[in-house]
Amino acid sequence: PTFADCGSSVFTSVACQSPLRSTAAVTMMKHVLALLQVHTATAVTWRVCPQGCDFRLPSMAVNEAANGDEIVIEAAVYQNFFTIQPNRPDGSVTQDIYIRGEVGAVLEAPEDGSLARGQAIIWNEGINTWIENLEIRGADCPEASCGGIRHTGFNLTLQNVWVRDNDYGIRATRSAIYP
């Protein structure tokens, strides 16, 4: 086959030498690669630390994060809470957020008792959220219904996350299982 038969140089060596020569298969592969290129080209790593980083609080980084961004939380105790929302006020959709704590990173409920939606330190409505290496503690309220993480989004992955000293640890709803 010639270059024109395959549609673009990206797929010439792959699609023209494989059984995936149909127009639909090539078109699908182009879309997948285009999405991967956009994700790779625009992903940002935001750093959180008490001073000298992109943000002083995790909530500030979460509010700024876009598709595929990573938030690195440096070792410190942050009295902070936040909601990971896929739908932004500007109409954009945010997904694939990766939050990684360094050794000693702690999210703690603020002393005034304020929490995300009055119920959690992290409220996740996100799509494909990954949280790693954090301690989440201290959510306590009179109704005993406050927790470390409230998950109402899709595909939450936790790795090396210690949720302790809250009314409950992690609370998930139906959408956490099926979209």
pLDDT tens, 22-65?
A: 566 556 655 555 555 444 458 999 999 999 999 999 999 999 99
- Could you give the angle at the alpha carbon of 126 between the alpha carbons of 64 and 173, nearest 5°? 150
pLDDT category at 7 given cuts 50, 70, 90 is very low
pLDDT category at 5 given cuts 50, 70, 90 is very low
Query: Which residue, among 25, 36, 26, 24, has the nearest Cα to 6 in the 3D structure?
Result: 26
The larger pLDDT score, comparing residue 101 to residue 178, is at 101
Instruction: State if pTM tops 0.85.
Output: no
The pLDDT tens digits of the residues spanning 133-170 come to 999 999 988 787 889 999 988 899 999 999 999 999 99
What is the rounded distance in angstroms from the CA atom of residue 148 to the CA atom of residue 159? 15
Question: Does the pLDDT at position 107 exceed 90?
Answer: yes
